[in-house]
Structure 1
Amino acid sequence: MVTRKEVCDAADRIRARDASPGGVKERVSVRSVRKEVGRGSFGDIARELGHWRKDANYHPVIERADLPEALQSRLTTLGKELLEQARIEATRERLADFADVERRREECDRIVAEAADRVDALEERVTRLQSELDRSGGVRASVTGMPAAPGLADPPVGPRTQMGVFVDTLYGLKLAQEAEDYWNRVREAVKATLVRRGPLAVHPLLKALPTSLKAEGERVGFPLTEAWLRYRLVQMSRDGEGLTLVDHRFGVVEAQGEEAELAGLEGSPEEQAAAMGRRAFWVQFLRQVHDLLVEKGALGSEDILSGLDGDLVRATRAFQEITPRLLRKKLRQRIGDGRPFAEVGDELFEAVVGDGPWDGESPTSVYAPQPGRRSA
């Protein structure tokens, strides 16, 4: 078994030798040391040679270049500094990634907390409504919809009690309709803002929305917060409702042109409409209605249907066959949503005219912003 002194002496002798003419300096290695000593196992020599390398500050690549000693020392120091700087940068990058993950986690926790608060508020409202219905004596169903077993002392349900149940039901439907109408106005305001200012993150987008819209949200029980707005907009982007989400910024999807046209698809009108999808089809349908009203002026619902292309009218059967009554309902709904239509006279409808053809989606404030025009 070789001793540490033997290994260190052999390593020092190898290191002190000059390079042969035209050659390179011999490297101090386990193999060269064993050859120098003449005996010993590679494992024993490797263990002792490791101690020698550390004590002698041995760097074979620099020494074999046969550089001056001062330059060798400087290169060694520089190498250590570069290695340490690389470690610092790698650590800093990992810390930055960790901080970003932590920030995202906190943001998600905040969204979940606001959603939980909203759920608690809705559950409290449902509980109040259920209590009102129970006091009226006309409802025997719990919130889950399971019928309650009638008791022997159940009060009779008379006309007055039935009227109370009917009023409470209408009140619940009124609240649901108010919430849906409010979200439709928020959605249109968001699209109008994005069209005007380009892609935005949730915070500046919320600040850009009208103050009156935020106040209305408080009134109908839907406070307009960043978390709630982000949740609804992410849903819209995933469901293909005209928004995109790239790098935490929301934008408006540009029109797809001929790819969304009914005439560009194969099959019957109903099959073509089904291939387009419900939303894309009704966008095209209302765009054709708008173009017809721009050309013909104010028309009734029956005249509008007779003036449209027959294949377009038949294609509505893929979703809900259009009738004069249904068309009036859709146009009035679009007017309420701020689309460029107006109802004049006795069930007559006309188009609000802008600078060019309407795209089927933009609200009046975007399509016809000039002062003095009719506002739907």
Structure 2
Amino acid sequence: MDGLSGKKPAVVWLLNISVVVLVALWLFPTLGLFVSSFRTSEQITSSGWWASLFPAEQTLQLRALDPDDNRIETGAGMFVVEGNVLEGDYAEVNIDRWGTSSRAPSAYTIGDTADLGDGESMTLNADGTYIWQGNDDQISGRGQRLFIIATVPPEFTTDNYKNVLFTEGNSEDMAKAFFNTLTVVIPATIIPILIAAFAAYALAWMDFPGRALLIATVVGLLVVPLQLALIPLLQFHNAIGIGKGYLGVWMAHTGFGLPLAIYLLRNYMVGLPRDIIENARVDGATEFQIFTKIILPLSFPALASFAIFQFLWTWNDLLVALVFLIDSSGETTVMTKQIVELLGTRGGDWEILATSAFISIAVPLLVFFMMQKYLVRGLLAGSVK
């Protein structure tokens, strides 16, 4: 009755809310990755991306000037070094508290004089100026290390993109990884479509013994975990000599993608009008002619839908590439593996990771938005008779 009176039933509201929640769950991480790609490593480690538009409190590790070139003797064997720790990139920083040890970075307030022992002292002012005093042995070597808890204004930078795309070494590696990924993705998308299209037509419109068993087998293969087949498949590839190159990874992606491709295309083709196919057979068309001139043009939305799925999966894949593209020289490194290498040996270059990841997803996003209308048509085909 609610539907007749113009009010939406509760299930419609629940569906709309669910869609909004799902979209948000996918949108927020992407937005966070985009924002983080324009932040420095200190900002990423100190606050979340949602706080990037507001001033944030950070702990900065700075050093005073090297005393050997900047100290001034004040008499009685005492020396002093004066300078400003907030010059350059930290000119707009507001100091809250400071310290000389990582264990107590907020031990002193602005203007306090820190007693470093044996007559050595350090005084830090609000504008960043400091006075470091001590004897000849103390005021030597490297500058005194300071830990500053400060309020840092929001800052965005394009240096991360310059580092990844234009820095010598990084740009060459990313360009090589980009073309290597295309070398993997394009054949790994086309080959399953070619095989699955023939198989789907046979399972949908051709009568032969065992057809029902083959359909059940295809449905069963949809739930087989990818990891379960990696080791035996790699052993087979090594036995026939294709386990360390592009051919092996093409065949692996083809095998893992075929069940979904056949299932999706068969469900679409079986919903096509039977009269068209029967009329073509009456007119003397062969099965191959029916397939190429009638079925394939009508099945383009389903073909495009699977192409999107397969492209996105193979582009973002790391596991299959690591297993079947064994190359210590880096000549076949794909984007996902290159991003991991750019993270650094200690795993601390988060700004590089965010930038590289966002560059990597640019191509899948472009493909998705260009072909999303075919994706929707292909997925909904056959749902309404």
TM-score using structure 1 length: 0.21
Higher RCO (Cα < 8 Å, 6 or more apart): 2
* Bigger Rg over Cα: 1
Higher helix share: 1
TM-score using structure 2 length: 0.21
